[in-house]
Structure formats: structure tokens, C-alpha cells
Amino acid sequence: MESKSDFAAKVAVVPGFDGSSVHTVPTSPGEGLVVHGSPDDASVSSTVIDPRIGPLAPPSSEVLDEGYVQQLSDIVHHKEHHHVTDLEKVLGKHEILYVEFEKHDKRDPVNFSKAIKWGITLSACFFTMLSATSSSSYALGFDTMTRDLNCTEFQATIGLSVYPLGFGIVPLLTASLSEEFGRRYLYLVSAFGFMMFQLMTALSGNIQTVILARFLAGAFGSTGSTMVGGSIADIWQPHERGLPMAIFSLVALGGTAVGPIAAGWIDMNPHMGWRWIQWIHVIFTGMDMLALCLIGKETRKTVILTRLAWKLRKETGNHRYRARAEDESASLKTLVFISMTRPIYLLLTEPIVIAFSIWVGFAWGILYVLMESISPIFRDVYRFNTGETGTVFVAVLLGTIFGYLGNMHQERLYQKYFAKRGPEARLFWVCIAGVTFPAGMFIYAWTAYSRITWVAPCIGIVIVIFSIFLIYLAVFTYLADW
């Protein structure tokens, strides 16, 4: 019961301990927080055990993950305990008071209002779409780029290749940085960097500068593809994630079609050309940055609790208030090491991860080969101009939309059969995609002849993209549930 004073007593009954632990917490910012204490005679150790995890409560995946973090931390740091020593100097023999959210606390990301959740989801997905459109629209500007920069088409193609290279390297670090600094700041920094290097590309005076700017734009733009799924998981309950993840996949694949559709006609405009393809990305990225500033909120729960615990310590002068992440998380160096080794560890030890990684990796490779082949096939075989070639990417957009519609039915099947089949209930439609994927590739490959109407390979494109969408979404949602 809260009194009228500036402080309110919060009672936390901790399983595994006799009685309850009562602590005084200030109403602001501690209002809505539950404080769990350790027994007075408990010593502080490098791995803080959650007292709520008793014999009746099996360890969660988060706890098991922390055990993995501790193992790797021991390898990297050779069991350094200097942090614990410093903590003991401050706390002495007093118990540590761990700050946590109450069940319906509005500061807990899963308790955000629907409006805030959708605002965060859509602004993050818009960043995903921009990074996707930048990847594919660049190639439609080759005609004017080679003329303006006096370079070969092969040199211009290097700028297309180094963009996904940045996508592949930087995500090894962003997971660790989001643990340390939170997701919101990482989104803002990434969007700003992406905008600046799009600007650098637009103002480039030679192909070497374009290639460098494209690599760096891909590096910063990778956040739009690799961190959005984590943000969705932060704020949506597992049974609510189907639609947000489907929208994320829709813009990730659909963006690769939207970009070329517009870019082809922009490049043909004598008053615009390839530079305006980059300028448009600068403008829309600036708009998304504004949305991220106004709508975006921090969604990583551990980061929010760490900040609240720091604020409690500052306002009360009581250094016993802490967030569990402060004591259980490893150093930034260790987190970087973990983020670089964990995918390899899972890839080598989990057969289901190996199988799905090979499948989605092959499908994603086919996607990039398909995107690269559309321009030369329809330009050289069917004699399409640049604008008409870009319009062919409508087939990619249609395939994405059909995949999205198929996933809507898949979600209904998942809700119906989850209790009986578990995570495998997400795999009904992907079984269909396993058949249509090679069928679509066969149609595209064997109908791209001048004597056969151009509609035939477009049908193949629709089927291939439809299949890739279902494979991509099913693999990531299944592994997240698994």
C-alpha cells in the first residue's frame, strides 16, 4: 500500500526464500517497479542468480543464454573478478536490490500502447524499405553514371557488389552495441550515417568515391534489415508477432522492387539521372530520422531497467539499487566476441539451424542473381529501355504481395494448430514454397527468349519471389519460436 509521502513500499515475495523482502522505493522513477532482494548473508558473485528461479521454475532461454555468455566471458577474461570486488566495496554486506517492472508497467516495452508499438514498427520497417530500395535501384542508373563519371559498367557494378558486403560485416557488431547502448540510439546513428553516405554518393565526382560511399551506406543501412526483427520481438508478444514480421518481410523484399520501378524512369529523365536516385533516398531517410526521433522509444528491456536503476541510485543515494543486466551481462568486448562466434556455434551444433541456414542462404543468393539478371535479359533480349526494364520489377512486387497474402492464411493455420504441433505449425505454406521455388526458376530460365512473350519470364519471377518470401519469413519465425 502506498502512503502519501514521497516514498512507497514495494513488497516482493521471492520463491526459494523464507518470508518476503520489503524495500522502500521512491515513487519516481521507481513507481511501477518491483525490487527483488538477495538475503543479507548472501555473498556477491560474478554470476548473480535470480532467486525467482526455484526448483518449480525451469530456466528460461534468457537464463540459459546468460550461462553461455558467462562461459565465453570466462574464456576471454580468464575469470576476472575485479568488477565484483568493486561492487562489494560499495555495497558491503548489504543485499542488492534488483529493479524490475511490475506486470502492467507502461514503461515495459511489451506494455506500450498499440499506437506506440505500430509507430515504432512502421518507422523501423520504413528504414528497412529504404535500405532495400537503395540496394536494387542503384543498378538502374548505370547508363547516366558511366557517362557522367567516365567509367565502365563493370566499375559501376562494383558499387552494387560492395553494398551487401557492408550488410554482412556490420551486423556482427550491432547486436553487441544494442546490448550496451540500446536500440533507439543505434537506429538514429545508423539512419544518419546511411543518409550521409547516400549524400556522398550523389555528390561523387569519380567512381572510386561512389564505391566507397556504397560500402559505407550498406554498412549503416544494414541496421534496417538486421535489428528490426529484434525490435519487433521486444514489443510484441509471441502470438502477436505474425503481422509485424510479415510487414517487415514485405518491405524487405518489396523494397527491392519499388526502387527499380521508380529508378528506371528517373534515370531516363534528362533533368535528373542517376544522382537523383541517391537524392531521393537522402530525402526519405531524413523523413524517417524525424519519425524515429518523434515516435521511436527505447525497446530493449534490459537497457531501460539499467537506466532506471542508475536514476534510482542518483536520486536516493542508495547504491544497492541495480538492474540484473548490470551484474549478469558481460563486457562490450566479450559481447562482440559472442555475437561473432554464436552464429558459428549454433551453425555447427544444431542440425535444424544448419538445414534452414543452407535453405534460406540459397534462396537469398538466388534472389540477388535474379535481380541482377532482370536488366540485361529484358534490355538485350526484349529490347526494353531503362524505364520499361524498371517496370518489370512490378513482377517482384506482385510476388511479394502474393507471399504476404499466403502468410496471412499461414498465420491462421498457426493459431489453429500451434497447441498440437508447436513451432512446426509455422511450416505449412513453406512446404508449398519448397515445390514452387524450383518451378519458378525453371519457368524464368527456359522462357527468356525473344520468340517467347516477355510475360512468361515475368510469371517465373512472380513465382520465385512468392516462394522466397514464404521461405524467408517461415525460417526466421520458426527459429525464433524454436
Residue 338 lies in a domain: no
Residue 434 lies in a domain: yes
Do 313 and 250 share a structural domain? Answer: no
Residue 44: give the domain boundaries. 7-107+302-330
Amino acid 246: pLDDT: 84
Amino acid 10: pLDDT: 37
Amino acid 127: pLDDT: 93
Do 321 and 281 share a structural domain? Answer: no
Regions of the chain with pLDDT less than 50: 1-27, 39-85, 88, 91-93
Residue 146 lies in a domain: yes
Do 143 and 285 share a structural domain? Answer: yes
Do 193 and 323 share a structural domain? Answer: no
Do 146 and 219 share a structural domain? Answer: yes
Residue 235 lies in a domain: yes
C-alpha cell at 466: 512468392
Amino acid 439: pLDDT: 95
CB 394 within 8 Å of CB 261: yes
Residue 2 lies in a domain: no
Do 382 and 269 share a structural domain? Answer: no
Do 98 and 163 share a structural domain? Answer: no
Residue 120 lies in a domain: yes
Do 276 and 319 share a structural domain? Answer: no
CATH at 211: 1.20.1250.20
Do 184 and 94 share a structural domain? Answer: no
Amino acid 21: pLDDT: 41
Do 39 and 151 share a structural domain? Answer: no
Domain boundary among 296, 314, 339: 296
Do 193 and 48 share a structural domain? Answer: no
Q: Please tell me the total count of domains within the chain.
A: 3
Closest to 56 (Cα-Cα) out of 18, 14, 16: 16
Do 184 and 314 share a structural domain? Answer: no
Residue 441 lies in a domain: yes
Closest to 304 (Cα-Cα) out of 177, 187, 182, 185: 182
Percentage of residues in the chain with pLDDT exceeding 90?
A: 23
Residue 393 lies in a domain: yes
Taking the C-alpha atoms of residue 34 and residue 410, their distance in angstroms, rounded to an integer, is 39
Taking the C-alpha atoms of residue 130 and residue 109, their distance in angstroms, rounded to an integer, is 25
